[in-house]
Amino acid sequence: MENGKKRVAAIEIVANIKDKPVLDFLTNKFGGNVYLTAKGIAARLMIRDLKSVVNVVNNINGKLRTPKIQRFHKMIDFLNLYHGTNITKLPLDYSSLAGNAWFAGFIDSPFGDGCFSIKGFTVLRTLELM
């Protein structure tokens, strides 16, 4: 806490209900909780404890292939600044997709786009990777 403002980091992954087994797998690997949406058509994995968030960030770091890496790097800055981590920001992954399809298709579904976000926030600010 700083001046009464708690700084929180959280990871949220939303997927079609048919992909809930993937979220359950990630829960077993990284922790967190899976919730069903009100209409039961989607499931949401929430990871809120710092140790698990840092574990996910370390597992994703260096594997991103899109400009979303800029927001991901802001999350690393947030963790380093407010939570005392010392995570090095790794660059985009330019390796061949033929040999490295890491995370490919994870949030694809025939019913629409999935959502993957990492958030760090205080009462006044939110950083988000989507």
Residue 5 has what pLDDT? 67
As averages over each run of 10 residues, the pLDDT of the chain (130 residues) reads 69 90 94 93 94 95 86 93 96 80 51 56 51
Residue 118 has what pLDDT? 60
Q: How far apart are the first and last CA of the chain?
A: 26
Residue 120 has what pLDDT? 61
Residue 1 has what pLDDT? 45
Residue 74: Cβ-neighbour burial (10 angstroms; 0-12, 13-18, 19+): middle
User: Rounded distance, CA 117 to CA 49, Å?
Assistant: 15
Residue 110 has what pLDDT? 45
Domains of the chain with CATH codes = 8-102+111-129 (3.10.28.10)
Residue 94 has what pLDDT? 86
User: Which pTM was predicted?
Assistant: 0.73
Residue 100 has what pLDDT? 67
